[in-house]
Amino acid sequence: MSDHNNFGHNYNDIVQPTQQIEQVALSDISPQDKPWDKHRKNAEIISSYYKKGGMDRYAKRVDLCSRNLDFRLVDDKHRGCQKLKLFKAQFCRVRHCPICQWRRSLMWKAKAYEALPKVVTDYPQYRWLFLTLTLKNCELTDLRDTLNDINRAFKRLTELKVFPATGWVKSIEVTRGRDGQSAHPHIHCLLLVKPDYFAQGYLHKKDWIVLWQQCLRLNYKPILDIQAIHADKSPVGLIAEILKYQCKESDLCADADWFIEYVRQMHKTRAVSVGGVLRGYFKALEEEPEDLIGKDDESEKADDDDTVMTFRWNTRIKKYILVRITSCNTRNIQYKDTA
């Protein structure tokens, strides 16, 4: 998935080497790039949490993540305009870094969107279900054991004869409990079922609850949700829901002690898994994306003559500020950066 937006300004208006240029923010030039500011601001918080937890190496890596961003100004042949396209950044690749978590999600979504049409072509009459499986909150210190229980229970579920899916994409999400101490782990799952599922072998919500309770070996009825995707609707939006994040940034940033224990509990756990016939299509979702920038679309091919705009994170105003423009048509122009 490329990182680009319609460029609402004439960049020649910004490139004015004969006069002093005040600070120009990335979010002002390209409003759709505002997420960069939010994620980088949260990265500063997470870096301080890692440091508090004695994880200095991670703290340093997150602190240095994406300090500079280089964008190319490229032509969009489809839209007949220019847009910004990220082409260079240094990512820390720390699992719980807000920037890298966001970029990783974008790359996973791009891979899923690319593979989905192949699934539809090979299984044209099959249907999709969106399943959310939960259980009661657990103590944060018990999160790893609870996740192991959940994953074992899901494996039991898929091995039941009545389990209707021929393939699935599963993700684990963890939210911070309202008490600020506990954790709420749950599963989001996209299921591919045969065309006759609604005529034969259909499971009502109450049936799913019974099965999930049995597989989890609980003494209470757990809460879950099951939705059927309409035959003429694409599951693209649900794939985005599944792959969005493992823990939302507001929970990660809410409390240092909760975050530190969460990191310990989540160490080397898997966020996404794929099974059944979908494994051949979506296996890449189980792996760390090598590319966190995004490949070019055919309509936005860059070349050596493109203008390059460099933005640097300003810790004082919490924004990415334009610090340099390099163009084949102008000399290298430096901008003020009063960090």
Dist CA 294 CA 213 (whole Å): 41
pLDDT for res 254:
98
Burial 21-42, CB ≥16 within 10 A → b, else e: eeebbbbbbbeebeebbebbbb
Start-to-end Cα distance in the chain: 31
Please give the angle made by the CA atoms of 115, 118 and 122, to the nearest 5 degrees. 145
The H-assigned helical ranges of 123-178 are 143-159
Q: Which two tokens stand for residue 261?
A: 């224990």
Q: With a cut of 50, which residues of the chain have pLDDT below it?
A: 1-2, 4-20, 298-302, 330-331, 333, 335, 338-339
Dist CA 46 CA 252 (whole Å): 8
Residue 31's closest CA among 3, 15, 7, 1?
Answer: 7
pLDDT for res 20:
44
pLDDT for res 4:
45
pLDDT for res 192:
97
pLDDT for res 304:
57
Dist CA 301 CA 233 (whole Å): 31
Please give the angle made by the CA atoms of 73, 244 and 322, to the nearest 5 degrees. 25
Whether 170 and 157 have beta carbons less than 8 Å apart is answered as no
Please state the domain extents for the chain.
Answer: 1-93+292-339, 102-291
Residue 236 main-chain phi, psi, to 5 deg: -55, -45
pLDDT for res 23:
83
pLDDT for res 57:
98
> What element of type H or E holds 35?
helix 34-52
Q: Which two tokens stand for residue 210?
A: 């019974």
pLDDT for res 337:
54
CA atoms within 13 A on the CB side of 193: 26
pLDDT for res 32:
83
Q: Which pTM was predicted?
A: 0.85
